[in-house]
Structure 1
């Protein structure tokens, strides 16, 4: 029911907002997709919003896993894991599903989130995202230090590297052929702790049949050079998106200018954490 309602909401937003519609069409065209090839993403964006109340506050949602071997190998080697997922499908469920599978044995998964400006909504987000086996930390230096400590304990963290960070917390790198301001946090976390990088995407199945989260390793070891490593992350996100482009949030402002903000979420000073 929520997905039917959400699909309608997605199309209403697409028709009613010229800015959103232009950005959706421009971003998908930049990646080489016609509107016909990704039009299903309009409805999936609405489904993503509609399922949030259940995802945050309802009963556990069914989610199968594939590609678990790369996760098991990283844990068996005693390494922490940096899970990376784009704004695709039910991306928040990917962390919940991983936590249900591994947190009892391997410790919680720490995820980074940006608190809402409204106090009541910030409290809801903090409470809702602290699901069993998960620890949500804010995008502050303290939150990043918690992530570094978790990785050094051999635990896992989760990030969305296709999210535009504040000014000073990223660098420009190609994404589908156009420069996009890209976070350096994922690279720094892996480089400072020796953690494994695992890619994840959570696919929404039709007709409310549940979800499938797919895991896979980074195609090549992360480069020690920051510029090259950031490019690797962007290319990895492109790879995941192309596997299911009809569930990516093409209307997200991926190429916007970063907003000015104190560089609180960089772990450059986290060596003492």
Structure 2
């Protein structure tokens, strides 16, 4: 999940990337905030396999489309709709916050395509890092502060989880288990056509039932089978998310009125 700080290839949420260093940022601090403004209108965020067990209790877990799919936690079913945060990024309830959201505005990135080493970088457009009077110092003289070391460790663990996630998805793809997903949700009144949601991938349960012998035993021993079932069980939450959207006035009808596609 690491990426070079290239303006044409920035990860979700990031508008720019700058390496953190004691020369330019010796007096800078990182703020603690009670809201995540960067995620308020985002309906899906990347998820690592390390988070499946916790995330499955709150979010449908699906896979993105394309040749290199990644697991996604759905915060809403319609683009621009988020039922867990308000527009300002304030949490609307208690739930597990995915590490991808908590990592911002920091990440590990290659400073150049030729250099394989990863450096701790941040998004300078964020108001979470800067020359503030309040906040936690990022440096103590020329040395990284304890807070910066903790940030670095968090980002390192995220990258390691990203590699495990990549291996998991590659194994699913090799086994041919991913298929185009489709979910039909009927409103309670029964008088309207069901809403159809597409544009994601999910595990093909028919093909999963065909897996036999050593392969199934290998997946069970590695923990992969538990991840597969976490994904499948979480799909039932799509109807819960749909109900939350409707209760919050963010349902499909409202989304259509605002020009947001299903």
Give TM class, smaller chain: under 0.3
TM-score by length of structure 1 reads: 0.24
Structure with the higher fraction of residues in helix conformation: 1
Query: Which of the pair has more CA radius of gyration?
Result: 2
Question: What TM-score does the superposition give when structure 2 sets the normalisation length?
Answer: 0.24
